[in-house]
A and B are shown apart, each in its own frame.
Chain A
């Protein structure tokens, strides 16, 4: 049966490299459905990623795509968007990619409020390299480099993006696919820097080390810990432990970086002219 997905993928790249039960494919599906609903011209879409399992997404979609260096997807995307503001630029990153090695680029892309959509697939672990802990691995959980439990505090990417200056911030999960698709769609449609964190599962690395061996166990865990803002507000601080708020956190309209640079061009041409 042909689905909407078939219109957007590079079939020769399948089967994909992801492990059975991995959430990356679910997010890929959500991104494609969101783009399809927006009816964007495929020739004007650019998808940029960094390094990691989730970053392989760009290889599977039939746009202008770019699998860049670890953590650097956002500055590559910034150059593309600056050079041609008519392009719709989507950036897909993993949690380690975005928040560790790419953390500085993330806050500065948000600060500039450049019109990019950042989708962070947060499986709370470095999957490709074998399950090392990331800045989003919950405190107390295990990784191959945290054999006695992780003592690090985690980032809250949604809060980080908000205070750094993004225009749109939301969080979804691979369990709540329809909600995630709709959040991605809103983010894509938003002018300015938009961020959607999707909590995902890595049964092979994260699950195995944290007593959730099957993908079903992991999805159940994700389902149980994801709560709406309304539910969250009614929880006691003990009950909030280990839970994640999902939904839309921020949506505001303000000019993005490329629009503001157009004003610079206007000003320079009015003031400058021939040197």
Chain B
């Protein structure tokens, strides 16, 4: 099936199409979903492409069922994807927690639209940043990535699957309506150009297999159902055997391990990009489609002689605490433009520890933040 995709080619792709392309390159062979704007094109593309390569697509009765089916398919051995938007993301939270506690690799796309509730189905938003972090109940870790271009959607979709398989965790890919629907030139890589990571399998015979006993890296090898390793999976806190436990030492070690397997690898997981930060006195921190505007703002500011730089976040969770802390020591001012009334700015404030001024710039009218208004905010703030 790989020879289908060997030719290097350049395409004009919509963000959602690029997500589907990236997923197929990453080895996705199962998609379950439910129609919702602005993510439906991902499902449509997967419905068309998956059966061509022997993969499976199913449209479930709701988002809860889609998330469940994706987890089931992953346990049975297929890399699995689902995609949705705010209202559907709310429904996915229950089983997202199940995937976290059972360390089931899968990727969930949230093409963000305005909220709360039905909100603004066809307009962009970045209102679900904290939902991505804390949407499902309980003290849990999560990895969430936020591309800002169509090309990044493709590469970060592959990355999301690699992280999910390597660290045995669901990964959330946060798009917004603008990048989900816009079209850009994308160079589609060949399989030789990209790294594809697959889950670690047990090397011991079935009678010795402890499905939740971690290796030294904190990650247990995963046997797929049907491979001759009978074991139990439960949403209850479980021991190495996968059986429910109420032993406080086992519980503590388990929950800490879930966090540590992510936290101990933040060097690899946290990805960001810097523009003109070396000599910057003012930093913009942005992500998603707003990062595009912020990049332009940097250029406009530099033309005016203002020493402005940009830290573009590609990994949202875990948050790049150290990076921002260092930046706060270098600059006088950080402005965080985002399409909400202040979500990631809270993390920036926390990481800055009072070492510089941190100012939010939010917009919640369903319109994009443009470069000029960020520049206006910079001018306004430097007068203070």
Contact = CB atoms under 8 A, between A and B. Distances in A.
Given A12-B243, A68-B68, A82 B58 contact: yes
Nearest to A107: B61
B10 interface: no
B226 A264 contact: no
Contacts of B78: 83
Given A64-B226, A67-B235, A83-B76, A75 B65 contact: yes
B226 A108 contact: no
Nearest to A63: B230
Interface stretch (B49-57, B114-122, B282-290, B308-316): B49-57
A39 interface: no
A86 B229 CA distance: 15
Contacts of B14: none
A3 interface: no
B95 interface: yes
Could you say which interface size class chain A belongs to?
Answer: 35 or more
Contact of B72 (A42, A59, A83, A274): A83
A65 B236 CA distance: 13
A15 to B, nearest CB: 14
Could you say which interface size class chain B belongs to?
Answer: 35 or more
Interface in B226-251: 226-236, 241, 243-244
Nearest to A264: B51
Contacts of B230: 42-43, 62-65
Interface stretch (A26-34, A171-179, A265-273): A265-273
Given A59-B232, A261-B56, A83 B30 contact: yes
A268 B234 contact: no
A272 B229 CA distance: 37
A80 B73 contact: yes
Contacts of A48: 72
A18 interface: no
A10 B211 CA distance: 15
A60 to B, nearest CB: 9
A72 B95 contact: yes
Given A78-B69, A79-B32, A87-B76, A275 B225 contact: no
A66 interface: yes
Nearest to B79: A83
Given A75-B68, A79-B32, A265-B54, A275 B49 contact: yes
Contacts of B243: 10, 12-13, 59
Contacts of B51: 261, 264-265, 267-269, 272
Contacts of B384: none
B287 to A, nearest CB: 31
Contacts of B25: none
A101 to B, nearest CB: 10
A78 B76 CA distance: 11
A65 B49 CA distance: 31
A40 B49 CA distance: 35
A194 to B, nearest CB: 18
B253 interface: no
B254 interface: no
B126 interface: no
A69 to B, nearest CB: 5
B30 A79 contact: yes
A7 interface: no
Given A75-B69, A76-B71, A79-B68, A43 B226 contact: yes
Contact of B80 (A46, A74, A79, A273): A79
A154 B78 CA distance: 39
B234 to A, nearest CB: 4
Contact of A268 (B29, B52, B64, B75): B52
A84 B226 contact: yes
B30 A69 contact: no
Contacts of A13: 243
Nearest to B66: A75
Nearest to B235: A69
A67 B383 CA distance: 60
B60 interface: yes
A105 interface: yes
- 9 nearest A-B residue pairs (beta carbon): A79-B72, A79-B69, A268-B51, A83-B76, A75-B65, A75-B68, A83-B73, A79-B73, A67-B234
Given A64-B231, A261-B51, 12 more contacts: A10-B232, A68-B95, A75-B64, A76-B69, A78-B60, A79-B70, A80-B75, A83-B73, A108-B61, A268-B52, A272-B49, A275-B52
Interface of A: 10, 12-13, 42-44, 46, 48, 51, 58-59, 62-69, 72, 74-84, 86-87, 104-105, 108, 261, 264-265, 267-269, 272-275
21 contacts: A12-B243, A13-B243, A43-B228, A44-B226, A59-B232, A62-B230, A64-B229, A64-B230, A65-B232, A66-B232, A69-B68, A69-B95, A80-B225, A81-B72, A82-B30, A83-B80, A84-B225, A108-B61, A269-B51, A272-B51, A273-B52
